[in-house]
Amino acid sequence: MNIFRVFVLFLCYSATRAQTFAADNKIDSKELRCLVCEKSLQEITNEVKKFDPNKKVDVGGYRLDIDGNYKHKAVPQAKSELALSELIEGICDKMDNYIRAKWKENGTLTLLSMVSEDGMMNPDWSNVDIIQDDDLNKSLKYYCEGIMEEHEEDIIKLYQEEQSDVTKAFCFKQSKLCPPPTRREEL
Ligand SMILES: *[C@@H]1O[C@H](CO)[C@@H](O)[C@H](O)[C@H]1NC(C)=O
Ligand SMILES: *[C@@H]1O[C@H](CO)[C@@H](O)[C@H](O)[C@H]1NC(C)=O
């Protein structure tokens, strides 16, 4: 991130700061957990997409097939339990890039990524009110870590099964950390 971007970011922050304290600080922890679930699974999916499709990981000897034989087989990195597990272990650091905010339009809670991967500022800054909360600068990570610790194996399985939308399959269907889609807009 260059100096200019930092400066712009600061300006935006200053501009939103004035409204900050007007925003309702009471946050439903279920709602927050759902949002953290969605964002962290999206981050995992992004990273899985970066795996080299040609890179194979040997899983021979670790698994039994349905006939009870050892499988001396290599799987793509994106389906490797070890690779996925290592990825999940570090994923909650990504939450440092998110802040809690409410859409000005409808007051709905959201998590805004401050800077995109190419270092650009999120264009939605002007559409949200930032929520400030003293103990909260680490809590997105805390929620994320809670989810990953409890559900790591389930999440890995979903990637191994090549679910088309792991975020939906995990956050909405399997873990039910998010309310059923009927009560929300379709993703
Ligand atoms: C609130 O507004 C945002 C931004 O336009 C939109 O993405 C979101 O779906 C809206 N939420 C609801 C519940 O209407
Ligand atoms: C953010 O978290 C750190 C470490 O927990 C703490 O020292 C710091 O005071 C917090 N900052 C804010 C603004 O809450």
Determine the structural domain holding residue 118 and report its residue range: 20-181
Length of the chain: 187
3-state secondary structure 19-60: HHCCCCCCCCHHHHHHHHHHHHHHHHHHHHHHCCCCCEEECC
Residue 115 belongs to some domain of the structure: yes
| Residue 173, pLDDT score | 94
The first and second tokens of residue 2, run together, are 């260059």
The pTM for the full model equals: 0.74
- Count of domains forming the chain: 1
| Phi, then psi, of 144 in degrees rounded to 5 | -60, -45
pLDDT for residue 93 is more than 50:
yes
Residue 6 belongs to some domain of the structure: no
Residue 5 belongs to some domain of the structure: no
Query: How far is Cα 13 from Cα 17, in angstroms, rounded to an integer?
Result: 6
| Residue 157, pLDDT score | 96
Pocket of ligand 2 (CB under 6 A): 134, 137-138
Report the separation in Å between the CA atom of 140 and the middle of ligand 2, taken as the mean of its atom positions: 13
Residue 2 belongs to some domain of the structure: no
Q: Which residue reads 């191994």 in tokens?
A: 160
Residue 47 belongs to some domain of the structure: yes
Residue 150 belongs to some domain of the structure: yes
Query: How far is Cα 97 from Cα 114, in angstroms, rounded to an integer?
Result: 6
Residue 7 belongs to some domain of the structure: no
Q: Tell me what the mean pLDDT of segment 165-183 comes to.
A: 89
The first and second tokens of residue 24, run together, are 């309702």
- Nearby residues of 117 by Cβ (< 8 Å), 6 or more positions away: none
Judged by DSSP in three states, 15 sits in helix
127 Cα nearest atom in ligand 1: 4
Closest-approaching ligand to the CA atom of 127: 1
Q: Where are the beta strands (DSSP E) in the chain?
A: 56-58, 74-76, 98-103, 109-113, 128-130
Highest-pLDDT range among 5-9, 25-29, 175-179, 181-185? 175-179
| Residue 19, pLDDT score | 44
- Ligand 1 neighbourhood includes 105 CB (under 6 angstroms): yes
Nearest CA to ligand 1 atom 11: 108
Residue 3 belongs to some domain of the structure: no
Across 4-8, 48-52, 166-170, least confident range: 4-8
